[in-house]
Structure 1
Amino acid sequence: MHEAHFVADIAIVLGVGAVIAVLARRLGQPTILGYLFAGLIVGPYLPVPIFADVERTTALAEFGVVLVMFAVGLEFRIAKLFRVLPTAGLTGLIQVSFLIFAGFSVGRVLGWDLVASLFLGACVCISSTMVVSKVFAQKKVPADVRELVLGILVIQDVIAIVLIAAMTGVAAGGGLAPADLALTLAKLAGVLIAMLGGGMLVVPRLMKRIAGFESVELDAVVAIGLCFALALLAESLGYSVALGAFIGGILVAESGLGERIEHLIQPVRDMFAAIFFVSIGMTVDPLEAWANLPLALLVFAVVVVGQLLSVGFSGLLAGNGLRRSVTAGLSLGQIGEFGFILAAIGIGADVVPESLQPILVTVAVLTAFTTPLAIGVSSRVVHALDAAMPRRLQSLISLHEEWLERLRAGGGAVAAPTRRAMRNLVVDSVALLLLLVLAAVLAPAAPARVAGWSGMSEEAARIAVTLAALLVAVPFLVGVARNAVRFARLRSGRLLGRANASTPSAEVGSRALGGMILALIVLALGVPFTAALGFVVGVGYAALGFGVGIIVVSIHLWRTAGRVDTEFGTAVLRIGDALSTHPYESPPSAHLSTPGLISGLDDVVTFTVSDESAAAGKTLAQLDLRARTGATVIAVRRGEHSATLPAGDQSLEPGDLLALTGTQAAVDSAQSILRDGVLPDRADDEG
């Protein structure tokens, strides 16, 4: 009879889930949305004569968590992580830290305790790989945007695993006091090292031997058996089954059979993942969701706006350009599977309000609707931002993107001074973070002890302790600042100091690139430190410090942009003169070299508009090249006359010679639009 109940639950959950998921796909929505709505139908809160048992479905749903995390581990590669770090590493770190702090701040403002607020921040900081993948499959998105978004998702996956393990320890009573949190993280590090180290000695060899039998059945059974065995081991050690399953996936993938096993388990994984999302929907009381709608809308706004701001701003500093950064920020504006897993951990441990689940489901439903819409209007958002942006910022962003592309393309080993500056920067940053933790541990009791020992008042003792902490921190702060500046100068000098090191233009470019790299380092260190400070000094003081930091960085970037814009204008005039003497009989696309100019404008690409060109008869505003590709038309020659920095109403005619600047991919895309009217990877994008 008990087994019959499980069969009935599976039949109801999968049957209703399949019907609603099909309807969702017909409406152009992700299947996750259908599963969540199916959970409402078969759950206990709606008067529908079809319902499944919540407890049994939740037990089945845990299989979905295990198999999804196992699949994530199978896809994870250390080499893949290092490959996406240059373009997405710091952006992902800044984005996750910013959303954790934003969610934590919302929780504290609402009166939630520290643990519940931290869970809210953790739940909203990870985007949905499933939603993004489905939307990208339905909408044509440029390849460089897909690469950036998927790279950020890889970084998020790594951070999510750490969050799941750490939050499991916190929910189990580890506490959020810095000493308790440090102990929790130390235990986590030990468990990870032990499981990965021990597993590497056994699992890859075992899987290779099993593969020798050439049996699909054995491959699947042994792999899934290892997955659940490691999930059970992690649970017995006090961590989530998700951590063990993820480690199991990594270990199986090390055998070289990752893709094969992933293909074998995909149907089973998808089935239990569907049950997991249906089970989430079953826990939501529509009346409670309606009662918490204002809070859900607030969290929704935090997710969408927070993703856009954090990914957009950090993406610009990382050299991803306005189009890629803004489109990526709009693409990641949703909460994902990890958010529901984290919420389930908190609810199961009774450390978060029960309203968290309906809030997350409401936000998931809203963002599932808005993500395709946001991607659809991304080009218009980019165009509006580009049009509203002062020219000095346009010039800086355009050149900065090309500078970093050249820096990445340079490859090769990192010079010893650069490695030394990077190592010292990391050491000083870690020391400063440890000092922050120590100060938080000693802060409550230190003033009273100093007052009793010295005879001064407790208020005077508190001031003395604060000053002492600042004095101890000064050497590390100076070290962070000095090494950050040194690292930025070395990296910028490596790119811009080779060909034209003695020219004033090269000096301006080198300082500008160094300033942008320094701003990125400040943001990459400042956002996580702000999130950590929120636990120590409170949200208000941390937010105030972060705001001051953003203002300082913004002023620095504005001044840097002014210097670059002056040099940019001078360089464009020289390019216009060079374009006037450029032979018309050159190929339709050629290079125009002007040595001595600021890097990025010393070698531009020319394009000749022909009678067959799609751009003939159109204005630059209609083509909208900078917003659509990131490339800029800096000069147009018609006959014997050249126009520099042409306005949007500049029309193009057959025989016009254009000078284009931007990254190689941006220029290639711009030429495709000028020539054929479409982007190279978006055949449906009409010019």
Structure 2
Amino acid sequence: MADVTAIHLPALITDLAFILGTAGLTTLIFKKLKQPLVLGYIIAGLLVGPNYKLLPTVTDGKTIHVWGEIGVIFLLFSLGLEFSFKKLAKVGGTASITAMTEVVGMILLGYITGQILGWNFMDSLFLGGILSISSTTIIIRAFDELGVKTQKFAGFVFGILVVEDLVAILLLVLLSTVAVSQQFGGQALLMAMLKLAFFLSIWFLGGIYLIPTFLRKASKIMNAETLLIISVALCLLMVVLASEAGFSPALGAFIMGSILAETVFSEKIEHLTKSVKDLFGAVFFVSVGMLIDLSHLVDYIGPVLVITLITISGKFFFSAIGALASGQPLKQSIQAGMSLAQIGEFSFIIATLGVTLKVTSSYIYPIAVAVSALTTFTTPFLIKLSEPLADRLDKNLPTHWKNRLNNYTTSTQSISNASDWQLVLRSFAQIIISNSVILIGMILINTQYLGPLLTVTIQNPLWSNLLTVFVAIVLMSPFIYALSIRRIRTRAYSRLWREKKYARGPLLGLEIARILLALVFVGLLLDQLFSIQVALIIAAILIGIIFPLMTQRLRKTYDRIERRFLTNLNARELENESPVKKILPWDAHLAEFRVSPESYFAGKSLIDLALRERFGINIARIERGRNIIPVPRGTEFLYPMDRITVIGTDDQLAAFKPYVEIEAPDIEMTVDQPDISLRQLIADTKFPFLHQSIRDSGIREKTNGLVVGIERHGERILNPEPSTVFQLEDIVWLAGDTRLIKSIDGVS
């Protein structure tokens, strides 16, 4: 007999098959129990991990850890696609104040708790970071199940979560810096924050200018496959750049996602990458479970319960206080506070960071997972209790307290006009900051990369330095012009100059400061390659003589760059532009609904539905595919799958929702349900319709079916006429109710 050589299968494949198989079975159980799949993945990791011996253990833990890192990258990339910096600018000061109050308060509370428990500095600090970020996934799931997504406080909570997403990214960077330097505060931390702010700005400005333009020009030759590959490639490229700059890979993935979120392709990219994110995300959460040691968890059951209680009470307190301080009503503040009282996926990532950097104790990880699991189960109950609790507090609060709260809320939500000086300073700040960031980036690129490359190539220091300066000045000149010479044409500036003579001195000072700053940047570039005296002379000649002579050309170049940047930045809004304004009376707000095919409203005109008279709501916009119908008239119809933007109060929207969004019930298949199939019948002597026409036989009515073809003597009659007569030995193809077809005599 010939020798049979066994094929060696890499451990990675067997481990992955084992992991995904266990995760699949576990998540099916959790899906049936209507619990978060994340917990199912973690339990699956616990079962296949080295600390649980009942099942076989994963053999190649390092490779699984690498796959988990890829999972974090795609989780953050997906989060960035849902984030966008413009969305952050739109959430407003109230959500930002609430989020920052909650995050800072929980970091301090977590740190103090760790110190009280006798933990070291790094464990306490990481505990604060773990407890500071709420779970977007868990909150969205709870809102869906409880049917409160249309309520006003839900929109406020979503705004808080947007801010928390960005804060979580900053926390990852800051905690990494502290972990490496082993100290908190001081010059190292300040430099890390400045470095982070600079790179965030340069990546955002450069990304918005280049990437949407590239995607738009390549759209004619791109299909879904190429768009997926390009999106993943851009994500991983930014991951590499972030790592080279000294930041975490997750930061790069998040930034690229937020850049792509500003393009018109964002929804399609999110759809294409969802499966990739789900796969690698599952591996990441399984790897989280693999690190849990149940013996440690049993030993620390006391701290788990204490930290869970502190998480719920602390998040509720700080979120509610922050919401009240930002001007939100008492009821909405309490609802938001109780909605945010949990931790989730970002807590796992922060805990993983501590383990990866080997700066936290082994018990931190399982404690974070246990607290997340407990707060996940409590979240729906807390959201349900929030409204009764708010009503009880409102009834029991002293009248003068309620009057003060109402007056404070009204005063903070009133519209205040910015002064002329505020508008002018804002305009100067925008120009100075944006152009300074770009100029610093160009100086670094030319001096750190281009200069050394030309020195090696030309092998003449003088000529290589001159060529480097020439290239740098050509690239920097439009931004130097914008920083130092370009006029700031605003009405506020003109009013201050014309109406207030005392303001002319400070305005001239701002103009001179712009020129001096540009001079500093040019001098900084030249100082890297020449002496300080030569640098200052050349800089003065450039800004004082050459740039003014080329003002017209530089202005056109900069205007073209600025126009492309703004077009890319606003492309998504221009695609789906809506005149709906969010200046609404009283407690009315906007909510979106999808018209279900089962809805009575589908196919009816707005004037026939009389929605304002029946529910008190108004439809502000109808989105039908790529078509947008702003402020629709009464003659407009609603169709299945229309996305409608509705204005109303919480009560009005809650009453309206059941009529427009109808969930199809889960129907279990039984013998009474029609089972449609295509079956073959033989027209023998027992065939009940022999020698009858299709019309006269009533075969269609008796089987709820359709005769789609007859095979007679080797010939096929497709879609036979109703007058066709069934003949002996015909083979009849009938599509219909399987049970009724089987009841026909003569069917074997």
Match of 1:416? 420
Partner of 1:118: 125
1:391 and 1:308 map into 2 onto residues whose CA distance is 24
Query: What displacement does 1:3 show?
Result: 6.2
For 2:398, the equivalent position in structure 1 comes to 390
Q: Deviations over 1:349-407 (max 9, x none)?
A: 111111110110110110111111211222222233223322222233344444544x2
Q: Give the equivalent residue in structure 2 for 1:248.
A: 256
Task: Look up the equivalent residue of 2:349 and give its one-letter code.
Answer: I
Match of 2:106 in 1: 99
Identity of matched residues, %: 31
| Partner Cα distance (2:236, 2:354) in 1 | 22
1:366 aligned partner: 374
8 Å Cα contact 2:47-2:55 kept in structure 1: no
Name the structure 1 match of 2:31: 25
- The structure-2 alpha-carbon separation of the partners of 1:414 and 1:22, relative to structure 1 and needing over 3 Å to count, comes to farther
* TM-score, reference length from structure 2: 0.55
- Measure, in 2, the Cα distance between the counterparts of 1:400 and 1:683: 37
Residues 145 and 324 of structure 1 are in contact (CA less than 8 Å); yes or no, is this contact kept in structure 2?
Answer: yes
Distance 1:42 1:326, change over 3 A: same
Structure 2 unaligned blocks of 5 or more: 1-6, 428-584, 587-645, 661-748
Alpha-carbon separation, structure 2, partners of 1:669 and 1:271: 37
Structure 2 letter corresponding to 1:415: S
Separation in structure 1 between the aligned mates of residue 395 and residue 119 of structure 2, nearest angstrom: 42
Measure the CA separation in 2 of the matches of 1:124 and 1:147. Answer: 22
- What whole-Å deviation, never above 9, does each CA across 1:621-642 have from its counterpart, x for those lacking one? xxxxxxxxxxxxxxxxxxxxxx
8 A Cα contact 1:669 1:680, kept in partner: no
Equivalent of residue 14 in structure 2, options 3, 8, 31? 8
Q: Contact (CA 8 Å) 2:85, 2:258: kept in 1 or not?
A: no
TM-score normalised per structure 1: 0.59
Q: Quote the offset at 1:113 in angstroms.
A: 3.4
SS of the residue corresponding to residue 37 of structure 1 reads helix
Tell me the alpha carbon deviations over residues 54-83 of structure 1, each in whole angstroms, 9 at most, x when there is no partner: 322221111110011111222222331122
Separation in 2, partners of 1:3, 1:206: 42
1:59 counterpart (62, 66, 78): 66
The 8 Å contact of residues 151 and 650 in structure 2, kept in 1 or not, is answered as no
**Superimposed CA distance per residue, residues 501-556 of structure 1 (whole angstroms, 9 cap, x where no aligned partner):** xxxxxxxxxxxxxxxxxxxxxxxxxxxxxxxxxxxxxxxxxxxxxxxxxxxxxxxx
CA gap 1:208/1:417 in 2 versus in 1, 3 angstroms: closer
For 1:133 and 1:317, how far apart are their aligned partners in 2?
Answer: 25
Instruction: Kindly indicate which of the two structures has a greater share of residues assigned to helix.
Output: 1
Deviant stretches of 4+, over 4 Å: 402-405, 417-423, 665-670, 678-684
Q: Give runs of aligned pairs for residues 264-343 of structure 1, distance below 5 A.
A: 264-343=272-351
How far did residue 303 of structure 1 move? 1.3
Q: Counterpart of 1:51 in 2: which secondary structure? A: coil
Report the CA distance between 1:182 and its aligned residue. 1.2
Matched-pair contact (CA < 8 Å) for 1:65–1:242:
yes
Amino acid across the alignment from 1:251: I
1:212 corresponds to which letter in structure 2? K
Alignment of structure 1 residues 435-584 onto 2, 5 Å: none
Counterpart mapping for 1:17-166 below 5 A: 17-53=23-59, 54-141=61-148, 142-166=150-174
Specify the SS of the correspondent of 2:341: coil
Task: Give the secondary-structure state (helix, strand or coil) at the position aligned to 2:265.
Answer: helix
Structure-1 separation of matches of 2:70 and 2:311: 28
C-alpha deviation, 1:86, in angstroms: 3.4
Of structures 1 and 2, the larger Rg is shown by 2
User: Residues 312 and 165 from structure 1, CA distance in 2 versus in 1: closer, same or farther, beyond 3 angstroms?
Assistant: same
Q: What are the superposed Cα offsets for residues 299-338 of structure 1, whole Å, 9 maximum, x if unpaired?
A: 2122111111011122123232122211111111111212
CA shift for structure 1 position 9: 2.1
Q: Which amino acid aligns with 2:394?
A: D
**1:211, 1:51 → 2: CA distance?**
46
Residues 403-447 of structure 1: CA deviation (Å, up to 9, x unaligned): 544x2xx58x52337769999xxxxxxxxxxxxxxxxxxxxxxxx
1:116 offset after TM fit, Å?
A: 2.9
CA contact (8 A) 1:12 1:51 kept: no
Structure 1 residues 376, 18: CA separation in 2 closer, same or farther (over 3 Å shift)?
Answer: farther
Counterpart residue identity of residue 110, structure 1 = L
Q: Could you say what secondary structure the match of 1:256 adopts?
A: coil
Q: Deviations over 1:546-567 (max 9, x none)?
A: xxxxxxxxxxxxxxxxxxxxxx
Amino acid at match of 2:125: L
Change (3 A) 1:62 1:89: same
Q: SS at 1:175's partner residue?
A: coil
Quick check: 2:239–2:252 contact (8 Å CA) kept in 1? yes
User: In structure 2, the residue corresponding to 1:205 is in which secondary structure?
Assistant: helix
Query: d(CA) in 2 for partners of 1:9 and 1:210?
Result: 39
Q: Which runs of 5+ in 1 are unaligned?
A: 424-598, 601-664
Work out the CA distance in 1 between the residues paired with 2:396 and 2:29: 41
1-structure distance, mates of 2:205, 2:396: 53
Taking CA–CA contacts closer than 8 Å with sequence separation of 6 or more, which of the two structures ends up with the larger relative contact order? Answer: 1
Query: 2-side partners of 1:196 and 1:82: how far apart?
Result: 14
**Are the structure 2 counterparts of residues 118 and 46 from structure 1 closer, same or farther at C-alpha, using a change threshold of 3 Å?**
same
Measured after TM superposition, the shift of residue 291 of structure 1 is 0.9
